[in-house]
Structure 1
Amino acid sequence: MIHSPTTRAGCARTCARPEEDPIPTLRFGVNYTPRHGWFHSWHDFDPAHAREDLAQIAGLGLDHVRVFHLWPLLQPNRTLIRTAAVDQLAQLVDLAAEAGLDVLVDGVQGHLSSFDFYPEWTRSWHHRNVFTDPEAVAAQAELMRTLGRALAGRPNLIGLQLGNELNNLVEHNPVTADEVDHYLDTLLAATREHLPADRLATHSAYDAAWYGDDHPFTPEASAHKGDLTTVHPWVFSGDCARRYGPRSPQVQHLAEYGTELATAYAVDPARPVWVQETGAPEPHIPAADAPEFARATVRNAAGCANLWGVTWWCSHDVDRSLADYPELEYTLGLFDSAGRAKPIAEALAATVAELRAQPPSPAPRETALVLDCTPGTRSVSGPGGAYFEEWMRMRTEGARPAVVLAARADDGEYLAARGIKDVVRLP
């Protein structure tokens, strides 16, 4: 059975939602990492292998996958987009439909699992800043238009995302916050051109966007641009799991916290938030603790009224025959590299089934902790920061605190729209 994206995506484009009308059925999925050859499998795409992987994913009761092609293979020259590569991607979307899975497609990869993938026309003697060079930006926009044209008619398409954690590329492509805004606006507009209105156009960033002092990808860019907000709350950000322990409340409530933080930065109090990446990387989360981490993470996030869904990272372990990955990348899958379901897969599947059988209906968070920071002090809201630790203290003691920005802490109409009755400030 295909879970139609129409209702889910449509709610993301709604500007206001009555308090008594919660976001429809939560979505639960996984980021698809091919078992055979990792993303290098795009060099010799094998539909039989993909069909096998997708059947395993669907067998867990998940309803969608997020998929990634490689930018150099899609667009090896600035003015050449390979039809064969686009057709491969469309075929993968169709194979997912056969398995009963909806699909979000990321366009510009970009960054995947510690590797960066650039077309040669952006590198070496031909170096172009991918965020600021007008011709490079125009080429990426054309790639997103092309993907939109190719995929818009697929009924199981959730939407298109600009790429995976593009802010990982800033080290080699210096950019300002204003330039990031122009880049995102340009690509999102191009992405939207050929998509039906009920499909999503989104972008993603890793946690530096929320916690990194003066990082050029800002919380506002994540929370204002695109049809919903995506968050990637990783337990290694700010050394969270090592700082507090793998079984700590700080770790088990991290995705919930990220969702509430994203809600605070949104203009629309009802803007949906998608926990688009979260996972159990060893040794930060030992294998023995991974099932409980998955259960707690998903259940706690489901207590957020604006949650769109949770997409686990990732489907399959990286095979150890492939070299030079950070150790944690080899163990992140729900399935091992032989295709066997791991205990974390069983825990996630059971938790999803329970939440579908008895869907949560979160009450408003009546107390909010005020976040007062500047772009240069954003780290206060990350692991180790005073704000983060106070929010977690309140949560551990049984409260369900919302996050509210200092600029809106006295806005009665806004607070009422979120159901907030009391605001408290850091001690």
Structure 2
Amino acid sequence: MSDFSPAAGLSPWQRTAAGAGLLGADGAIAATIFAEMSALAARTGAINLGQGFPDEDGPAEVLEAARSAIADGVNQYPPGIGLPVLREAVARHQAHWYGIELDAASEVLVTAGATEALAASILAFVDAGDDVVTFEPYYDAYAALIARAGGVHRTVPLAWSAEASGAVWQPDLEALGRAVTDRTRMIIVNSPHNPTGAVLDDEVLVEIVRLAERHDALIVTDEVYEHLVFDGAHRPIATLPGARERTITISSGGKTFSTTGWKIGWLTAPAHLVAAVLAVKQFLTYVNGAPFQPAIAAGLDLPDAFFAEAAATLAGKREVLAAGLEAAGFAVARPQAGYFIVADASPLGFSDGAELCRRLPELAGVVGVPVTAFVHPERHDAYRSLVRFAFCKRMPVLEEASTRLAAL
């Protein structure tokens, strides 16, 4: 368990940036590793497997629905809570896939992607000095948003363990129990998980709910990869006994429908929690993406076969990239879900994943991102040799990347 508080003696913005690890030694805002690696790929002509965005469009039905909405004049401010057509589609989706019945008028909020839903939820409920618990590695926005709210970011590591079935990432339940206390205001649960591709075990989810009930904490879930699980089905924590009344469930259409640039997300929660988040959200983006909201609604209403095929296609891409990485000599953790695969560079003689990422364009014509970008500096040693690669790309791109990597 780690305790990361914003640095003292700085301006409010500097404290926020320092708490999120965004300040360089000279106090200037440092470029993120994602920006650095994407610029490196562009400069060298390397295949960019660093950032997690698809390089092909989503389903034709969704794209055509957006065109139709624009042509039909859906181009002005939508309601602050979101267009009814999308809120109703989200409610149908939750009932169909998970048996969660929602009031679309009061228990669904449309947001500018999942990141705004996270931001508005954290800013709505976390006050200065409140603890917020996440698993580590963590999506980089968590640290920045917790710092902005003045919260204390406590993390529980996900351990890499080599097993016959591959490397898996799960937290130690005793460490989780030590992290969640009466000071805990919020537990953020990212499953399926970025960057590891892990799906948290039911035992872990049950323990999260037990701890949240015991310490009266909110649960906020980041479930953007919910339909991209390769074996089995996604289980929202809100379906567990005792969870729903204290859970804010967040998802988006960007990953499922390959429309990451549209930034259409949503959250579902009891009405009083939605109202509190909306009070913050209205002063962030106010509203967003009017013509894209009915388009994502059309996507959510696609037949079950579409979602199954999307996951199966991505699973095939995972295998292509995994084979290339293994041929290159990496130890590979095959993900259970999502867009990313984590590989250990230490068998290749590289103990520093960040150093390798900066050399990979020269060595293999490929760009990845070091997993240390997703952990606090004091934990870098535990993840130093690990690199994350995105496989949400066209198959020919992945085949070429695999060929280049195998040449290592």
> TM-score normalized by structure 2?
0.31
Query: Whose RCO is larger (CA < 8 A, sep 6+)?
Result: 2
TM-score (norm 1): 0.30
Higher share of residues assigned strand:
2
